[in-house]
Structure 1
Amino acid sequence: MKNVRNFKIAAIGLALATTAVMAHAADEPLKAGFVYVGPVGDAGWTFAHDQGRLSMEKALAGKVKSTYVENVPEGADAERVIRQLAADGNKIIFTTSFGFMNPTLKVAQTFPNTYFDHATGYKTAKNMGTYQARSWEGAYMLGVLAGKMTKSNILGFVGSYPVPEVVRNIDAYTLGAQSVNPKIKTKVIWVSSWYDPARERQAAETMIAQGADVLSQNTDSPAVIQTAEEKGVYAFGWDSDMSKFGPKAHLVASTLSWSRYYTDTVKEVLAGTWKPTQTLWGMKEGMVVLTALSPSVPAPVAKVFEEKKQAIISGKLVPFTGPIVDQAGVVKVAAGAMMPMGELMSLNYYVQGVEGSIPK
């Protein structure tokens, strides 16, 4: 990796024994560390975060020096990596996966003068904040397009782990599709990984064999797009533009832009004004960004898509607005009411139209 210090997890225990806490000198660049769950690669969740890191470095040239550690498992290894970054003098550390939440909190409690920011979690401390995107807005919009483009009325979704973040996106995808096509059914296959191209491909092939002709995902590789391209069905980019992996299959991507958030946050650290917050940005704030539609999308469909997109940006359309009914037919959100944020952030059920059950 260019100009990147990539720690070897196996050496961290030894390094901890010999590394002292380093104070940030005013005349030196501020050090910022990033912890990634997958490889940086050239697509997906980790790629999007790294693009944000690079953009932040460019905007604050000479004022900040960042480093990252990629492919960090969500467990004991995560704690060792985060602790090492803190011991190495990084003033702020961004941990970018749900499973890093508890390790981040534990390290934050032992490094009170270091700032920590955790993506997609909900636990905070005096020196630890959280940030995440309203990714369900993008998922809803992908569903709108899927509902219009499907011929079988069967959609597919490749899930990573059954955490609320992913369940929200599955439900939002289905609700968006049903808003334009009430016949929609969504099949889900869980691969128990954020990044496993082989399993993602197998899941995509299985759902295509079961009749799904539009696929979405909450995983990090372009395997779903590549499979859709080979099998002659449609799919979407997730977290980054994946059109180059399947030009005919790729209808649009729901991407994440972390550039503004990382730049603003590091500016606050430099200015001495940083405070822990629980940031939640979406399409309105430019964190969730939809790419240009494929030329294969008919003009009438593109018109509906654009109208709903602008309605979400303006606040006129809120994806999780009732009536919302679960698989058992129970009304969970009354007509015209919005799902309370607390319920939305801990969502643990499928809406009507999603097949199967959520793994325990």
Structure 2
Amino acid sequence: MKNILLALAASAAAIVAVAAPAAAQDKTKICFVHVGSKTDGGWTQAHDIGRQELQAHFGDKIETPYLENVPEGPDAERAIERMARSGCALVYTTSFGFMDATLKVAEKFPDVKFEHATGYKTAANVATYNSRFYEGRFINGQIAGKMSKTGVAGYIASFPIPEVVAGINAFLHGARTVNPEFKLKVIWVNTWFDPGKEADAAKALFDQGVDVLTQHTDTTAPMQVAEERGLKAFGQASDMIAAGPTAQLSAIVDTWAPYYIKRTQAVLDGTWSSAQTFDGLKDGILSMAPYTNMPDDVKAMAMDTEAKIKSGELKPFTGPLKKQDGSAWLAEGESADDGTILGMNFYIEGVDDKLPQ
């Protein structure tokens, strides 16, 4: 809470400071509200890199104030409203848990545009944007299937929302395309950002015999544990190689700048309209960190899979696939539609966990 108050105070000071010069008033304010720290090494850092590239692209046409370490809940609504009141033309709210808060503030400020990351609720002045993270997780799963000596990987999961569940399933399905007996253990930490909890989960999974780890949380703590244990892991949202120079195999890397530039340009042009964006590897909103610490044949396999996903030749959720309870889901050659992926609320066969309800 202290960090938020300090950030809000700094934001208020900045607003006062720029009110005097006439030139500053000509700048369009494009604002950001983040759940974590811009130096978390993962999710929020990727968004802040996008913000910096956005600022560099438009130069003195815009300014890009931001708030970081904003918890989901009442604090989020207050932070988003503060941004709207400060004269922001567009506010990017970059956490799933900001969804309802974004909608509430948007209703109060119909002339302000809002873009909510990974959500599904829209309004006339609220758009959503999401990435096909599962595409990268499928590739990582294939790598894990080749690299694991135990045939068991670990997954540190944040919250049981469709995006996270789809990631778990995609990772396991990828692994099972190269090792049909592959298993996946899951630990839910019920947070996006908590280095202590994330590290404890990593240690617990490794203690259970897991030798490859992946995560859907925001810090580099799990990667650091993998490095300390001499085991392997995948980064999340950002390239985490600095935290695990011998541990990281690859990472899904969120590349938000092209989207931020496109949508900000629409605001400047007066052409912005509400939309739901769901892009992936072929669109450049998602990329893969270099494939490292693996044999050449595994690297070649990963690169081939990445190319096939980009071309549309391969869709990660393609059958035959069964649900965890053994019931049929996708027949041979059948692919899941976006609605199913965006609403995924079940595990596939092979997940060693009971999905929280």
Shift of 1:291: 1.4
Q: CA separation in 2, counterparts of 1:54 and 1:239?
A: 16
Query: Following the alignment from structure 1 to structure 2, what is the Cα–Cα distance between the partners of residues 41 and 268?
Result: 29
Q: Aligned partners of 2:8 and 2:142: how far apart in 1?
A: 48
1:304-354, Cα deviation, whole Å (9 max, x unpaired)? 111111000000110111222111101112221111221111101111111
Deviation at 1:356, TM superposition (A): 1.1
Q: Indicate yes or no: 2:152 matched with 1:165.
A: no
Correspondent of 1:319 among 316, 320, 333:
316
Instruction: Give 1:336's aligned residue.
Output: 333
Could you tell me which of 307, 310, 332 is aligned with 1:310? Answer: 307
2:197 aligns with one of 181, 196, 199: 199
Are the aligned partners of 1:9 and 1:81 in contact in 2 as well (CA < 8 Å)? no
AA partner of residue 262 (structure 1): Y
Q: Does 1:103 align with 2:101?
A: yes
**Number of the residue aligned with 2:46:** 48
Partner secondary structure for residue 221 of structure 1: coil
How many angstroms apart in 2 are the aligned matches of 1:230 and 1:141?
A: 24
SS of residue in 2 equivalent to 1:62: helix
TM-score (normalised: structure 1): 0.93
Q: 1:78 to 1:283 in 2, by over 3 A?
A: same
Report the alpha carbon displacement of residue 9 of structure 1 after superposing the two structures with TM: 7.1
Equivalent residue for 2:343?
346
Amino acid at match of 1:266: T
**Residue 68 (structure 1) aligns with:** 66
Matched with 2:113 is 115
What is the correspondence of 1:85-100 to structure 2 with a 5 Å cutoff?
85-100=83-98
Which 4+ runs in 1 deviate beyond 6 A?
A: 9-12, 24-27
Secondary structure (helix, strand or coil) at the match of 1:151 reads coil
Q: What secondary structure does 2:178 align onto? A: coil
1:247 and 2:241 equivalent?
A: no
Q: Which residue of 2 aligns with 1:189?
A: 187
In 1, Cα distance between equivalents of 2:98 and 2:260: 18
Cα distance in 1 for residues equivalent to 2:7 and 2:269: 36
Task: Classify the secondary structure of the residue corresponding to 2:352.
Answer: coil
Question: Of residues 334, 352, 356 in structure 2, which corresponds to 1:355?
Answer: 352
Residue 219 of structure 1: CA displacement? 0.5
Give the total of aligned pairs: 346
Which region of structure 1 is more displaced relative to structure 2, 145-154 or 335-344? 335-344
Equivalent of 1:237 in 201, 224, 235: 235
Identity %: 45
- TM-aligned CA deviation for residue 275 of structure 1: 0.7
The TM-score with structure 2 as length reference comes to: 0.93
Give yes or no for contact 1:92–1:117 (8 Å, CA) kept in 2. Answer: yes
Partner Cα distance (1:351, 1:282) in 2:
22
Greater helix fraction, Structure 1 or Structure 2 = 2
The aligned counterpart of 2:211 is 213
Query: Gapped runs of 5+ residues in structure 1?
Result: 1-5
Give the unaligned 5+ runs of structure 2: none
Q: Contact 1:94/1:117 (CA < 8 Å) preserved in 2?
A: yes
Residues in 2 aligned to 1:284 and 1:120: alpha-carbon distance in whole angstroms: 18
- Opposite residue 299 of structure 1, the aligned amino acid is D
